[in-house]
Structures are given as structure tokens and as C-alpha cells.
Amino acid sequence: MNHASSPIAVLGPTASGKSALAVAVARRIGGTVVNGDPFQAMQGLEIGTGQPTEEERDGVPHLGYGVLPLSARPNPATFGSLVRGWLSEARNPVLVTGSGLYLRGIWDQLSDLPAVPEATVEKVRDLDRRVGARLLHRYLAAVDPARGAELHPNDSARVQRALALHLATGARPSELREGRATGAPERWRVLIAAPGRDARRARVERRVAAQFEAGWVQEVARLLEADHEGDLRALRPLGYEALMENPHDARERIVQETQAYAKRQATWFRHQLKEAPAWDPDAESMETAFQRLGLP
């Protein structure tokens, strides 16, 4: 493999340090950090989605952050195509994302999904109304742990679609979505930022505290004043719903939801990219990360 022409993917759960790692890698190779997170691509969600600040970018070129209007509704296929365009424009691209499903879209590993009868769709909607989003998510996680790990329990629309697909086909939605290819494409070099469980939880707490300190409550208030409540409820970026409902008591709920999401992300990467090397930001040096990527 010609490493000089190989794109790099820096992956990992929320608050794992992957953005800082991506900046360090891009600086090392004279490259560009390319965003692979659909929420970080949205305008107006800078604080709550953790879009890197100018200070955090540290002079390294970045592509794909804060470029889509809040009216956009990206899905894994359309967003994947958009990111592939950014990758083709970037010099020595370093992709960074925490979303396994959208990563599949970026790597063009999604298959066409079979049609689902409307009666099945309505059956799942009725089940959601009767038992609630969290129990519906537990059902999905039981029949398809990989898809369950990708979705937040409050993401009822996607949970419903996944369950309807399962009921209609008898197959796991994650297998249908992944298509033929699994794992990292041959020419890619991948590194997963993987702090230990306790460290990951502490990192999430620090991240949420920093977001509140940076003005996350005010960010949400500005979006509501600009009549974006409908967009936020349709997009469901993590934490924003809690802040819309009760900004004064939202912090602990957001910490818990983010920790649960980060756990699911870590599980997905561990199970779906078993061959990819991992790096512990709290126990290993940046030079170790460079070595695992085969950087000079």
C-alpha cells in the first residue's frame, strides 16, 4: 500500500479526543481534517455538537463543519456522498467521525433497502405510541445490537424505520444497510480513539461542563428565537431537546444521555472494526498513535 496516498480515518466515541488526534495527524502529514459527522456539518450547532473552535483547529485546514442549513435532512447515503466530495478536495485527508452508520455511507457500504409495507410501518408506530421510545429502542437492540448501538433511544423516527424493516424482512437492519462490504476499505488507514470506560465517562462530564460554560444554553435560545424549533426536533441532535424542554435542569440528563451514546459508539467500533488499531488518549502518547497509523 502506498501510505502517501492513503486517506486516514480517526474514529471514536463522543469526548474520546478524536478531534484533537485528527488535528495532530493532519499537522504531521500536512493534511486536512474532514468532518464525517452530520450534526457537526450543521450551521448554528457549533457548541452543542462540539464543532472544533479556531483555537482547537490550531491552524490546520478543516472541511465540512457548519456548512449545511438547519433545514437540511441528511441521511447516511446523501451525507456520505457529500463527504466523499470533501475528501476528494482535501490534501492528505484525515476523516474524523463517531457515527458508525454515517461512516458506512461515507465508505459507500450501504445497500438499497427493500420496501416496507405501510401496514408494517403503522404497526410499529402504534407500538411506539403504546410502549414509548425507550422500550421500542430496547426491542431494536435485542433483535439487532449493532443498529441499536447506532441509534439514540429518543431517535424514534429511525428506531421505528429500523424495526419496521426487521419485521418486514426478518433480517437485521444493520446487515441490510451495510451491504456487501464490511470493515475499512482496503486503502484506508484507521485508528480508533478508545479511552477506558471510567475515563470515557469522566471525559463526557468535562465536555458537557465545557459546553455549558461556552454558552450552549444561549445557543439554543438563539436558535429558538430564530424559529428553528421544528428543525431541532426533526434533526434531534444530542442534548438540544433537553435544553429546549428545561434548560435549568438539563445538564445531568445530557451527561447521562451522552454517556449512554458514547458507550454505544464504543461498542459499535469494537464490534464492527475489529481489525482496526485502537489508541488510549489517557495512557498512550501521540507518537504511539502516529506509529499505529504508520506515519513517518
The model's pLDDT over 202-229, given as tens digits with 9 standing for 90+, comes to: 999 999 999 999 999 999 999 999 999 9
Q: Does 274 lie in the same domain as 186?
A: yes
Phi first, then psi: give them for residue 35, nearest 5 degrees. -75, 135
Both 195 and 256 in one domain: the answer is: yes
Say which residue the cell 468535562 belongs to.
206
Q: Is 27 helix (H, G, I), strand (E, B) or coil?
A: helix
Angle, vertex CA 267, rays to CA 145 and CA 11, nearest 5: 125
285 shares its domain with 230: yes
Last residue of a domain, one of 138, 154, 178: 178
Which of 111 and 184 is assigned the larger pLDDT?
184
| Least confidently predicted of 31-40, 148-157, 286-295 | 148-157
Phi and psi at 67, nearest 5°, equal -110, -15
Higher-scoring residue by pLDDT: 126, 72: 72
CB 296 within 8 A of CB 31: no
Global pTM? 0.81
- pLDDT single digits (tens) 11-26: 999 999 999 999 999 9
- Quick one: pLDDT band at residue 2, thresholds 50, 70, 90? very low
Judgement on whether residues 253 and 219 belong to the same structural domain of the protein: yes
Q: Are 146 and 272 in contact (CB under 8 A)?
A: yes
Residue 64 structural domain = 3-110+180-292
Res 177: pLDDT? 58
pLDDT at 52: 97
Give start and end residues of each alpha helix (H) in the chain: 18-29, 54-57, 76-89, 100-106, 118-131, 133-143, 145-150, 156-169, 173-178, 197-214, 216-225, 229-235, 240-245, 251-272, 286-292
Q: Is the pLDDT of residue 154 over 90?
A: no
Same domain membership, residue 268 and residue 220: yes
Q: How far apart are the two ends of the chain, measured CA to CA in Å?
A: 14
Q: Are strands 62-63 and 32-35 parallel, antiparallel or unpaired?
A: parallel
Residue 167's CATH number: 1.10.20.140
Other C-beta atoms lying within 10 Å of the C-beta of residue 285: 10
Q: Do 37 and 104 share a domain, yes or no? A: yes
Same-domain status, 166 and 74:
no
Rounded distance, CA 63 to CA 35, Å?
Answer: 6
Q: What average pLDDT does the segment 129-157 reach?
A: 84
189-193 sheet: strands from edge to edge? 62-63, 32-35, 93-97, 8-11, 189-193, 278-279
Residue 4 has pLDDT above 90, yes or no: no
Q: Report the domain count for the chain.
A: 2
For 43, 76, 107, the CA distances from 88, given in Å and listed in that order, are 22, 18, 13
Does residue 112 have a pLDDT over 80?
no
171 and 258 part of one domain? no
Query: Do residues 156 and 78 share a domain?
Result: no
